[in-house]
Amino acid sequence: MNYLFDTHFHLDLQKDRVAAIRHIEENRIYTIAVTNLPDLYRKELGEVVSKYIRLALGFHPELVHQYKKQIPLMWDLLHETRYIGEVGLDFVDKMYEGEQVDFFSELVERCRYDGNKIITIHSRKAVSKVLDILGENYRFKAILHWFTGNKDELKEAVERGCYFSVNGAMINSKRFLEILPLIPANRLLLETDSPFTCFKRIHSEALRDIEVNLGEYKQDVDVWGNFRRLLGTNF
């Protein structure tokens, strides 16, 4: 039996967290709830208990400069969780590019040989640098969240063993659909990036729509099987 899952969901940004958790449990949605700062992860950790939710320790790249005092907390908490995210690079604003690179590089090195870690990565206008930092010799599972790179970057990411999480906005993007055939079916996962792409959509319905629409373009895709293989062990 295939269940619903979501590899990138912002639980802490939901208007009604209690209702969101209830919906996840009632619909048995296996959810990786990413966070944007270490102290938010720590806060959520003390408040969220659910069979279907795993909190991810995150530090959004756009917040690294403003909240750099939380970097030591990130390292203190790193050993406590299997799930890391949202982390990565965002080069839309290049002002603090160097600080982002330094932080993400250290994170990757701290996790490089931990085969149990699953890291969901933000790479807006920074795919090439993200791949440079990842390198070829890493043991964790890397998920490129909302991939917007070009064909050459995609091919390199595939060669590096990356997974790709797909949301509704991506399925509606002509640019993404042009490169979708280049992604192996066994590397595709689902995400909503809720609340940023779901808006008024019901969580479970949004996931089902993404899965159905993705299947129209990749008929041999088994996203649930991919998710189980990504986990390797129990959720």
Give the Cα separation of 226 and 213 in Å (integer): 17
CA distance 87 to 82: 14
> Which amino acid is it at 76?
D
**Other beta carbons less than 10 A from residue 92's beta carbon:** 9
Number of domains in the chain: 1
Distance CA 228, CA 22 (A): 23
* Predicted TM-score of the model (pTM): 0.96
Domain with 78 in it: 4-231
**Complete edge-to-edge strand list for the sheet that includes strand 188-190:** 83-88, 118-122, 141-145, 163-166, 188-190
Per-residue pLDDT of the chain (235 residues; tens, 9 = 90+): 679 999 999 999 999 999 999 999 999 999 999 999 999 999 999 889 899 999 999 999 999 999 999 999 999 999 999 999 999 999 998 889 999 999 999 999 999 999 999 999 999 999 999 999 999 899 999 999 999 999 999 999 999 999 999 999 999 999 999 999 999 999 999 999 999 887 667 999 999 999 999 999 998 899 999 999 999 877 7
Residue 161's φ and ψ, nearest 5 degrees, are 90, 15
Q: What CATH number did the domain enclosing 189 receive?
A: 3.20.20.140
**Cβ atoms within 10 Å of 195's Cβ, excluding its own:** 17
